[in-house]
Amino acid sequence: MAKPSVLVLRAPGTNCDQETQFAFERAGASTERIHINQLIENPSLANDAQILCLPGGFSYGDDIAAGRILAGQIRNHLCDLLNDFKTSDKLIIGICNGFQVLLQTGVLLADNFGESAQATLTDNKSGKFEDRWVYLAADNSRCVFLKGIEKMYLPVAHAEGRFVTREPSLLDTLGSSSQLALRYCRPPAFATNGKVPYPENPNGSDGHVAGLCDDTGRVLGLMPHPERFIDRTHHPRWTREELPENGEGLRIFENAVEYFS
């Protein structure tokens, strides 16, 4: 059986593309990294890809805002390509900076040009860059990438990861449609109701949101970095705890590959 094909999109400042490529390949996919300018020049380079990944990093140095310039390029030049992925039973995942881009392009939550987005990712409430490991509870009832996953322990590294909505009612709407795919929580119960304080909620996100999927379940954006925990040696306590050989993040990439098997 042919391996699913993954396209990892990079831009100046992207710095997690190689790790993400490795994670997909370890999960069994055939993966290619491509620069945004190459894809704009020739969108047909994505024709054979079944999975599109926007990896983490600091695209264009976050000079205007996190992911803003890359999102603008995609909206202006590659909207048709992303829409084709959504309507062709393909998958899209955006990690950290990629999550920021997916929200600003309207791929995750539809918006209208010229109007404020339904939701965005803004500065952490702590006022500083957060680099730590967090506990996550998953809602896997809709999202392809989270099939069989109920909880995770992954690292985050961002300064603009606080999920906020334009209208408070949007959280209820997204929750009822199982689109709040990942939420920060407190162990051991991994509960998402009630207050999840800092640092368990590292950025102060509304509803403790760490990841969001679209209404098809085939597009996922998340702030934590699954590609940074695909091997037991990535865990901060790997020399002190008995751990499985595979890190918890690998399952996200395996689910994407298995979707096409």
Closest listed residue to residue 82, CA positions, set 125, 51, 117, 120: 51
Annotated active-site residue in 53, 143, 158, 227: 227
Whether the CB-CB separation of 35 and 11 falls below 8 Å is answered with: yes
Annotated active-site residue in 16, 96, 185, 213: 96
Query: Is 225 one of the annotated active-site residues of the chain?
Result: yes
Annotated active-site residue in 158, 208, 225, 235: 225
**Catalytic center residues:** 96, 225, 227
